[in-house]
Structure formats: structure tokens, C-alpha cells
Structure 1
Amino acid sequence: MKLLFRFVFCLLCLLLPAAAFAQVDINHADAKTLAESLSGVGLVKAEAIVAYRKANGPFARVEDLGKVKGIGSKTIEANRDAIVIVEGTPETPPPMYRGP
């Protein structure tokens, strides 16, 4: 029984960090992905992020999310570690990394 417990515990320790550090690219993610990935951001706010991005171009900094109606500094700070900025517009995503 102890062996089973240790196995399950080790498995959880390996899997939880990956879920805790999931990141979302706010310049390319669709509204559904944003809503599922960001704390305090539902579908309405996520759609506002996508609409702002389409009207004004890609976000240059995480703080630029504050320009979107309904997104405040508390929401930005709560999600800072989950947000990444990838260059390129949503219509032309950056090329895939192919390795050496």
C-alpha cells in the first residue's frame, strides 16, 4: 500500500507543475482559450481582448491588456505568469521552431 501511495504521489508531483505553469499567448489565442487559461477572465472579457487585438494590433506588453475594457490591474497581476507575448499578428503567426 505504501508503494502505491508513493507512486501516486510521485506521479502527481510530476504532473502538477506542468498544469501550474501553463501559458497562453494573448496575441494568438482565441476567446475560448483565453477564457479557459486566464483567472478572472470569462468568455465576455476574452472576446473583448480578441476584439481589441483585431482593432488595435498585437499587444506589445502584458500591461497593454489594461487598455481592454473590463481588464484591470488586478486581473493582469493575477495572470502575469500565465501570459506570454509572441511576436507576429494573429493572421500571420510566427514560424514554428524546427530545431537545429
Structure 2
Amino acid sequence: MRPWLGWVGVALLCVSHAVHALEINQANEAELDSIKGMGPSLSAKVLQARVQGPFTSWRDLMQRVAGIRHNKARQFSEQGLTVNGQAFDFKK
């Protein structure tokens, strides 16, 4: 077996994980709708709130968008959603 194949596999895993990340400040309606638990109504609220400016943190998102609280934030983050490049910190 060729030892470099192991590194190629690891690199592919890293790249495929990065592909699943979705930044809420850049996501379009279809991308937001694709997140389990988001739905068209919540996607519309996110896009409407985002018109005022990008979300700076998960806390900012939860304050500005009715319907996104701790449990939803955790669910969305586990699916790869980020806010300002950050995953949701479940411990806070």
C-alpha cells in the first residue's frame, strides 16, 4: 500500500467537511431552506433581519430573529451553519 494514500483520504475528509459549512451571513434563501428545522418562514425572518446588517454572533442572531433560540441554534450549528465563521457554543 502507498503511504501517501492515507494523507489523501484525510485531506478529502477535511475538504468534504468544509463543503458542508454554511455561513448565515452569505447564505441565500434556498441554502437556508435546506437546513433541517429552518423552513421558509424562518428563512424569511433571517433574510429580513440580515438586511439591517450581518449577524455578528449567535447571540446577535438569536436576539434579532424570533424563533431561533438555544435549541434551534444548536441544531443548526450541528448541521454546519456558522455565524460570522463561528459554530454555536453549546455551553454558553
TM-score, normalization by structure 2: 0.62
When the two structures are aligned, how many residues end up with a matched partner?
Answer: 70
Counterpart of 1:80?
77
Matched, 1:43 2:50: no
Structure 1 unaligned residues grouped into runs of 5+: 1-13, 87-100
Aligned partner (choices 15, 28, 31) of residue 30 of structure 1: 28
Distance (Å, rounded) in 2 between the aligned partners of 1:63 and 1:31: 21
Which portions of structure 1, spanning 4 or more consecutive aligned residues, are displaced by more than 6 angstroms?
none
Is contact 1:31–1:47 with CA below 8 Å preserved after alignment?
yes
Distance (Å, rounded) in 2 between the aligned partners of 1:59 and 1:70: 15
- Listed one character per residue, the Cα deviations across residues 41-68 of structure 1 (whole Å, up to 9, x for unaligned) are 00110111000010x2101112322120
> Match for 2:25: what amino acid?
N
Aligned partner (choices 66, 70, 80) of residue 69 of structure 1: 66
Q: Aligned-residue CA RMSD in angstroms?
A: 2.5
Counterpart of 2:88?
none
- SS of equivalent residue, structure 2 residue 45: helix
Counterpart of 2:53?
57
Q: Indicate the structure (1 or 2) with the bigger Cα radius of gyration.
A: 1
TM-score, normalization by structure 1: 0.57
